[in-house]
Protein backbone atom coordinates (compact mmCIF):
# COMPACT_ATOMS: atom_id res chain seq x y z
CA UNK A 1 0.00 0.00 0.00
CA UNK A 2 2.83 2.42 0.79
CA UNK A 3 3.90 2.52 -2.84
CA UNK A 4 0.50 3.97 -3.82
CA UNK A 5 0.60 6.84 -1.30
CA UNK A 6 2.91 9.77 -1.70
CA UNK A 7 3.07 11.80 1.49
CA UNK A 8 4.71 15.23 1.24
CA UNK A 9 8.49 15.46 0.83
CA UNK A 10 8.74 11.73 0.30
CA UNK A 11 7.62 10.79 3.80
CA UNK A 12 6.52 7.19 4.15
CA UNK A 13 3.76 7.73 6.74
CA UNK A 14 2.10 10.41 8.85
CA UNK A 15 1.78 10.67 12.63
CA UNK A 16 -0.76 12.94 14.35
CA UNK A 17 -0.53 13.36 18.13
CA UNK A 18 -3.93 14.35 19.51
CA UNK A 19 -4.76 15.21 23.11
CA UNK A 20 -8.28 15.20 24.58
CA UNK A 21 -8.22 17.78 27.37
CA UNK A 22 -11.53 17.41 29.22
CA UNK A 23 -10.70 17.88 32.92
CA UNK A 24 -13.59 16.57 35.07
CA UNK A 25 -16.18 17.19 32.35
CA UNK A 26 -15.25 14.01 30.50
CA UNK A 27 -15.91 11.66 33.40
CA UNK A 28 -19.12 13.48 34.34
CA UNK A 29 -20.45 12.61 30.88
CA UNK A 30 -19.51 8.93 31.26
CA UNK A 31 -20.58 8.58 34.89
CA UNK A 32 -22.79 11.46 36.08
CA UNK A 33 -23.27 9.64 39.38
CA UNK A 34 -19.77 10.75 40.45
CA UNK A 35 -20.81 14.42 40.57
CA UNK A 36 -19.83 15.85 43.95
CA UNK A 37 -17.47 12.97 44.76
CA UNK A 38 -14.29 14.99 45.03
CA UNK A 39 -11.97 12.06 45.67
CA UNK A 40 -13.14 10.41 42.47
CA UNK A 41 -13.09 13.64 40.47
CA UNK A 42 -9.55 14.34 41.62
CA UNK A 43 -8.36 11.55 39.30
CA UNK A 44 -9.50 13.66 36.32
CA UNK A 45 -8.45 16.99 37.80
CA UNK A 46 -4.92 15.62 37.69
CA UNK A 47 -4.85 16.47 34.00
CA UNK A 48 -5.09 20.18 34.76
CA UNK A 49 -3.03 19.95 37.95
CA UNK A 50 -0.01 18.18 36.43
CA UNK A 51 -0.74 16.44 33.14
CA UNK A 52 -1.00 19.35 30.71
CA UNK A 53 2.28 20.87 31.84
CA UNK A 54 4.07 17.52 31.71
CA UNK A 55 2.80 16.76 28.20
CA UNK A 56 3.77 20.19 26.93
CA UNK A 57 7.22 19.75 28.43
CA UNK A 58 7.76 16.44 26.65
CA UNK A 59 6.49 17.76 23.32
CA UNK A 60 8.79 20.79 23.61
CA UNK A 61 11.78 18.63 24.51
CA UNK A 62 11.22 16.36 21.52
CA UNK A 63 10.20 19.19 19.17
CA UNK A 64 6.93 17.61 18.05
CA UNK A 65 3.61 19.35 17.25
CA UNK A 66 0.25 18.14 18.50
CA UNK A 67 -3.46 18.88 18.19
CA UNK A 68 -5.48 19.43 21.37
CA UNK A 69 -9.24 18.75 21.28
CA UNK A 70 -10.81 20.92 23.97
CA UNK A 71 -14.41 21.71 25.02
CA UNK A 72 -15.03 25.44 25.29
CA UNK A 73 -15.91 25.26 28.98
CA UNK A 74 -12.56 23.60 29.78
CA UNK A 75 -10.76 26.39 27.92
CA UNK A 76 -12.67 29.05 29.86
CA UNK A 77 -11.85 27.37 33.17
CA UNK A 78 -8.14 26.92 32.31
CA UNK A 79 -7.10 29.93 30.20
CA UNK A 80 -3.44 29.74 31.26
CA UNK A 81 -3.20 26.20 29.91
CA UNK A 82 -4.80 27.27 26.64
CA UNK A 83 -2.28 30.06 26.25
CA UNK A 84 0.57 27.67 27.04
CA UNK A 85 -0.66 25.14 24.46
CA UNK A 86 -0.91 27.85 21.84
CA UNK A 87 2.46 29.36 22.76
CA UNK A 88 4.04 25.93 22.30
CA UNK A 89 3.01 25.97 18.65
CA UNK A 90 0.30 23.35 19.04
CA UNK A 91 -3.09 23.31 17.36
CA UNK A 92 -6.29 23.82 19.35
CA UNK A 93 -9.31 21.99 17.97
CA UNK A 94 -12.90 22.10 19.19
CA UNK A 95 -14.80 19.43 21.13
CA UNK A 96 -18.03 21.37 21.50
CA UNK A 97 -18.73 23.60 24.46
CA UNK A 98 -19.59 21.08 27.16
CA UNK A 99 -18.35 17.50 27.10
CA UNK A 100 -21.63 15.86 26.07
CA UNK A 101 -22.98 12.58 24.75
CA UNK A 102 -24.06 13.58 21.26
CA UNK A 103 -26.43 10.63 21.06
CA UNK A 104 -28.63 12.63 23.45
CA UNK A 105 -28.66 15.76 21.25
CA UNK A 106 -30.60 16.45 18.07
CA UNK A 107 -28.90 18.11 15.12
CA UNK A 108 -29.89 21.62 16.18
CA UNK A 109 -28.40 21.11 19.65
CA UNK A 110 -25.26 19.55 18.18
CA UNK A 111 -24.83 22.51 15.84
CA UNK A 112 -25.29 24.91 18.75
CA UNK A 113 -22.58 23.04 20.69
CA UNK A 114 -20.16 23.40 17.77
CA UNK A 115 -20.89 27.11 17.48
CA UNK A 116 -20.56 27.84 21.21
CA UNK A 117 -17.40 25.75 21.57
CA UNK A 118 -15.73 27.41 18.59
CA UNK A 119 -16.70 30.86 19.88
CA UNK A 120 -15.20 30.16 23.33
CA UNK A 121 -11.92 28.92 21.85
CA UNK A 122 -11.73 31.82 19.39
CA UNK A 123 -12.25 34.34 22.18
CA UNK A 124 -9.24 32.93 24.06
CA UNK A 125 -6.87 32.17 21.16
CA UNK A 126 -7.90 34.74 18.54
CA UNK A 127 -7.86 31.84 16.08
CA UNK A 128 -10.98 30.02 14.99
CA UNK A 129 -10.51 26.23 15.27
CA UNK A 130 -10.63 24.19 12.08
CA UNK A 131 -10.66 20.75 13.75
CA UNK A 132 -13.34 18.93 15.73
CA UNK A 133 -13.71 15.77 17.78
CA UNK A 134 -17.05 14.52 19.15
CA UNK A 135 -16.65 14.11 22.92
CA UNK A 136 -18.96 11.07 23.03
CA UNK A 137 -21.71 9.54 20.94
CA UNK A 138 -22.50 10.11 17.28
CA UNK A 139 -23.42 12.98 15.04
CA UNK A 140 -27.00 13.13 13.81
CA UNK A 141 -27.72 13.04 10.06
CA UNK A 142 -26.50 16.37 8.76
CA UNK A 143 -23.80 16.70 11.43
CA UNK A 144 -20.89 16.67 8.98
CA UNK A 145 -22.56 19.37 6.93
CA UNK A 146 -23.02 21.38 10.14
CA UNK A 147 -19.28 21.10 10.82
CA UNK A 148 -18.60 22.52 7.37
CA UNK A 149 -21.02 25.40 7.95
CA UNK A 150 -19.17 26.30 11.16
CA UNK A 151 -15.80 26.46 9.40
CA UNK A 152 -14.50 23.04 10.50
CA UNK A 153 -12.22 21.41 7.95
CA UNK A 154 -11.07 18.24 9.72
CA UNK A 155 -12.62 15.78 12.13
CA UNK A 156 -11.18 12.91 14.16
CA UNK A 157 -14.15 11.01 15.53
CA UNK A 158 -14.81 8.13 13.15
CA UNK A 159 -13.02 4.84 12.74
CA UNK A 160 -13.19 2.35 9.88
CA UNK A 161 -9.95 3.27 8.07
CA UNK A 162 -6.26 3.97 8.65
CA UNK A 163 -5.92 6.72 6.05
CA UNK A 164 -7.64 10.10 6.03
CA UNK A 165 -10.76 10.42 3.91
CA UNK A 166 -13.12 13.14 2.74
CA UNK A 167 -16.68 12.82 4.00
CA UNK A 168 -19.02 11.92 1.13
CA UNK A 169 -21.68 14.49 2.03
CA UNK A 170 -19.19 17.28 2.73
CA UNK A 171 -15.86 16.59 1.00
CA UNK A 172 -14.48 19.77 2.52
CA UNK A 173 -14.26 17.83 5.82
CA UNK A 174 -11.32 15.43 6.08
CA UNK A 175 -11.61 12.65 8.65
CA UNK A 176 -8.51 11.45 10.51
CA UNK A 177 -9.67 8.00 11.69
CA UNK A 178 -9.10 6.65 15.17
CA UNK A 179 -8.30 3.15 16.46
CA UNK A 180 -8.99 2.00 20.03
CA UNK A 181 -5.56 0.41 20.26
CA UNK A 182 -3.96 3.82 19.60
CA UNK A 183 -5.53 5.41 22.66
CA UNK A 184 -4.29 5.50 26.25
CA UNK A 185 -7.75 5.20 27.81
CA UNK A 186 -8.52 1.52 26.98
CA UNK A 187 -5.21 0.52 28.59
CA UNK A 188 -5.16 2.73 31.66
CA UNK A 189 -8.53 4.30 32.43
CA UNK A 190 -9.95 3.03 35.67
CA UNK A 191 -11.41 4.43 38.85
CA UNK A 192 -12.14 3.40 42.36
CA UNK A 193 -15.78 2.66 43.04
CA UNK A 194 -17.74 2.46 40.81
CA UNK A 195 -15.41 1.13 38.12
CA UNK A 196 -15.04 3.57 35.23
CA UNK A 197 -15.45 2.36 32.53
CA UNK A 198 -17.74 -0.40 33.91
CA UNK A 199 -16.14 -3.86 34.08
CA UNK A 200 -12.74 -2.40 33.26
CA UNK A 201 -11.26 -1.67 36.68
CA UNK A 202 -7.61 -2.50 36.07
CA UNK A 203 -4.33 -1.02 34.83
CA UNK A 204 -2.54 -2.60 31.89
CA UNK A 205 1.16 -3.45 31.96
CA UNK A 206 3.21 -0.41 30.94
CA UNK A 207 5.72 -2.50 29.02
CA UNK A 208 3.02 -4.46 27.20
CA UNK A 209 1.18 -1.25 26.34
CA UNK A 210 4.36 0.29 24.95
CA UNK A 211 4.98 -2.87 22.94
CA UNK A 212 1.47 -2.75 21.49
CA UNK A 213 1.83 0.90 20.48
CA UNK A 214 5.23 0.27 18.95
CA UNK A 215 3.97 -2.72 16.96
CA UNK A 216 1.06 -0.70 15.67
CA UNK A 217 3.38 2.10 14.60
CA UNK A 218 5.58 -0.45 12.81
CA UNK A 219 2.55 -1.61 10.85
CA UNK A 220 1.37 1.89 10.01
CA UNK A 221 4.90 2.81 8.94
CA UNK A 222 5.30 -0.31 6.83
CA UNK A 223 2.06 0.29 4.92
CA UNK A 224 2.43 4.07 4.67
CA UNK A 225 -0.62 5.02 6.73
CA UNK A 226 -1.74 7.77 9.14
CA UNK A 227 -1.02 6.91 12.79
CA UNK A 228 -3.38 8.99 14.97
CA UNK A 229 -2.50 8.75 18.66
CA UNK A 230 -5.20 9.82 21.14
CA UNK A 231 -3.96 10.89 24.57
CA UNK A 232 -5.44 12.31 27.78
CA UNK A 233 -3.39 14.46 30.23
CA UNK A 234 -4.84 12.74 33.31
CA UNK A 235 -4.03 9.28 31.94
CA UNK A 236 -0.74 9.33 30.02
CA UNK A 237 1.02 12.15 31.88
CA UNK A 238 1.60 10.54 35.26
CA UNK A 239 5.29 10.28 36.24
CA UNK A 240 5.54 6.66 35.09
CA UNK A 241 3.33 6.68 32.02
CA UNK A 242 4.93 9.78 30.52
CA UNK A 243 7.99 7.56 30.13
CA UNK A 244 5.93 5.16 28.01
CA UNK A 245 4.99 8.04 25.72
CA UNK A 246 8.58 9.33 25.65
CA UNK A 247 9.95 5.96 24.58
CA UNK A 248 7.25 5.59 21.92
CA UNK A 249 7.91 9.05 20.45
CA UNK A 250 11.68 8.68 20.58
CA UNK A 251 11.34 5.48 18.57
CA UNK A 252 9.13 7.19 16.01
CA UNK A 253 11.55 10.10 15.72
CA UNK A 254 14.38 7.73 14.83
CA UNK A 255 12.60 7.22 11.50
CA UNK A 256 13.56 10.06 9.18
CA UNK A 257 10.73 9.23 6.78
CA UNK A 258 7.87 9.97 9.21
CA UNK A 259 5.82 13.16 8.94
CA UNK A 260 4.74 14.28 12.43
CA UNK A 261 2.18 17.00 11.85
CA UNK A 262 -0.96 18.59 13.28
CA UNK A 263 -4.39 17.41 12.27
CA UNK A 264 -4.88 20.63 10.31
CA UNK A 265 -1.67 20.12 8.33
CA UNK A 266 -2.46 16.51 7.43
CA UNK A 267 -6.07 17.33 6.53
CA UNK A 268 -5.02 20.29 4.39
CA UNK A 269 -2.49 18.21 2.48
CA UNK A 270 -4.92 15.32 2.02
CA UNK A 271 -7.68 17.62 0.75
CA UNK A 272 -5.31 19.06 -1.85
CA UNK A 273 -3.61 15.84 -2.89
CA UNK A 274 -5.78 12.76 -2.48
CA UNK A 275 -8.77 11.24 -4.23
CA UNK A 276 -12.29 11.36 -2.81
CA UNK A 277 -13.78 8.30 -1.15
CA UNK A 278 -15.33 5.57 -3.28
CA UNK A 279 -18.86 4.24 -3.04
CA UNK A 280 -17.70 1.14 -1.14
CA UNK A 281 -15.74 3.09 1.49
CA UNK A 282 -17.14 2.61 5.04
CA UNK A 283 -18.02 6.31 5.22
CA UNK A 284 -20.07 6.09 2.02
CA UNK A 285 -21.82 2.92 3.16
CA UNK A 286 -22.57 4.47 6.56
CA UNK A 287 -24.06 7.60 5.06
CA UNK A 288 -26.36 5.64 2.76
CA UNK A 289 -27.60 3.09 5.29
CA UNK A 290 -27.76 5.33 8.36
CA UNK A 291 -29.76 7.98 6.58
CA UNK A 292 -32.10 5.36 5.10
CA UNK A 293 -32.54 3.78 8.53
CA UNK A 294 -33.61 7.09 10.06
CA UNK A 295 -35.78 8.14 7.11
Alpha-carbon gap, residue 52 to 237, rounded angstroms: 8
pLDDT tens-digit profile, the chain (295 residues): 444 567 999 899 999 999 999 876 667 667 677 766 766 777 777 888 899 999 999 999 999 999 999 999 999 999 999 999 999 999 999 999 998 899 999 999 999 999 999 999 999 999 999 999 999 999 999 999 999 999 999 999 999 899 999 998 899 999 999 999 999 988 987 654 456 656 655 788 999 999 999 999 999 999 999 999 999 999 999 999 999 999 999 999 999 999 999 999 999 999 988 655 555 555 555 555 555 545 5
58 near 51, Cβ under 8 Å? no
What are the two backbone dihedrals, phi and then psi, of residue 138, each rounded to the nearest 5 degrees?
A: -125, 155
Helix (H) or strand (E) holding 94: strand 91-94
Domains assigned to the chain: 2-294 (3.20.20.370)
253 near 62, Cβ under 8 Å? yes
Q: Is the pTM of this model over 0.85?
A: yes
What are the two backbone dihedrals, phi and then psi, of residue 262, each rounded to the nearest 5 degrees?
A: -75, 165
DSSP 8-state assignment for residue 238? S
Alpha-carbon gap, residue 152 to 140, rounded angstroms: 16
Alpha-carbon gap, residue 195 to 201, rounded angstroms: 5
Amino acid sequence: MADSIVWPKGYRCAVVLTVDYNDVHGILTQAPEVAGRDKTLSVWRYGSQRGVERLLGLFAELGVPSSWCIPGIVAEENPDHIRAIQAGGHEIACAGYRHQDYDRLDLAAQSAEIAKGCAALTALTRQRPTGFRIPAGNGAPGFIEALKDHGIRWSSSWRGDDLPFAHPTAPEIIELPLHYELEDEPYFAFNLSPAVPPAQSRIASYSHTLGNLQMDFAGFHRFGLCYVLRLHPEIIATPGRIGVLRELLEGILRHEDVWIATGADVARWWADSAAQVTEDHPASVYERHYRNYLA
